[in-house]
Amino acid sequence: MCTLSWLYRGNNHYEVYFNRDEQRSRLPALEPQSAVIDEVHCVMPIDPVGGGSWISTNEYGVTVCLLNFYQGKVPSGALTSRGLIIRNLASSCSSQTVDSRLMEMDLHTFAPFVVVSFDTRRTANETVLWTWDGSCLSRSHAVAPIVSAAMHFDAAYQYRRDLFNELVTRVADDEIGRLFHQTYDENYPHLSPLMTRNDARTVSFTSVVVSSNKQEMIYQSFDNQRKVDFHTSLSCLKRCTVEQGVLK
């Protein structure tokens, strides 16, 4: 499972929140790295298994997120890591460019996924959800939260949507995302945004803040007791380029 939510605060400020859930046997990810792609400065954590990522932001203030879509049908034949889609889209100068690039890609070697992008040129009501179901790419309106799950999908989606909507009614806007993504319910550990199962758990929480004076990715990894064991932040500035990171 993975969980994505976001918040727009005026015309030039948005925040994105992403919980990454993975099998306990999967190798830990690399912390966010700075990279120059197509002469554009980008920031993204790296999955060492496929070499790609699940979230990126760049100097244009464009953020792109990818979640697995387990309800689709996996194409036959050899598959390409879905995380490489983020690398292909990371340098986009706008969400419209993300849309165009995605529509031009040959997706038939990728397992099903969804992609959502954000920038300050679109409002919350204009946020687009792209779904590749293994045979067809479709476009729809994106509504937070978005949940990806191979197991307990309906229950997890309902639980997290209800929690998110409840927080919206009683919590200040600048607190909703973090409270939602850091919620662990002992009665429903497998449905909680901060999820745990015998075979999988939430391994990291990534947030992106883009405004007129800030472009920053904040990254936290969690240990087996759901405690933060690593915290870092990285601004998407042209002078900040890093070649190596640590495994977390």
Q: What's the pLDDT at 174?
A: 87
- Which H helix or E strand runs over 45? strand 40-46
CA pair distance 22, 5, nearest whole angstrom = 18
Q: Is residue 118 part of a domain?
A: yes
Q: What is the mean pLDDT of each run of 10 residues along the chain (248 residues)?
A: 91 94 92 95 94 96 97 95 97 97 97 97 91 98 96 96 97 94 98 96 97 93 95 77 40
A 10 A CB-CB count for 55 gives 29
* Residue 79 and residue 68 in contact, taking contact as beta carbons nearer than 8 Å: no
Q: Is residue 242 part of a domain?
A: no
Q: Is residue 248 part of a domain?
A: no
Q: Is residue 247 part of a domain?
A: no
In angstroms, what CA-CA distances link 163 with 21, 69, 131, 197?
18, 22, 24, 19
Q: Is residue 90 part of a domain?
A: yes
- Looking at beta carbons, which pairs linking 93-97 to residues 24 or more positions away fall under 8 Å? 93/40, 93/60, 93/62, 94/60, 94/62, 94/119, 94/121, 95/62, 95/119, 95/121, 95/122, 95/128, 96/121, 97/62
Q: Is residue 240 part of a domain?
A: no
CATH of the domain at 146: 3.60.60.10
Instruction: Determine if the pTM surpasses 0.85.
Output: yes
Q: Is residue 241 part of a domain?
A: no
Q: Range of 192's domain?
A: 2-235
DSSP state, residue 88: H
Positive/negative CA dihedral, 188, 189, 194, 199: negative
Residue type, 59: E
> Closest Cα partner for 91 from 54, 130, 52, 56?
56
Residue 47 CB contacts under 8 Å (≥ 6 apart), including other chains: 29, 30, 53, 54, 81, 83
User: What total number of domains does the chain contain?
Assistant: 1
Q: Is residue 244 part of a domain?
A: no
Q: What's the pLDDT at 237?
A: 65
In angstroms, what CA-CA distances link 93 with 49, 63, 196?
27, 10, 37
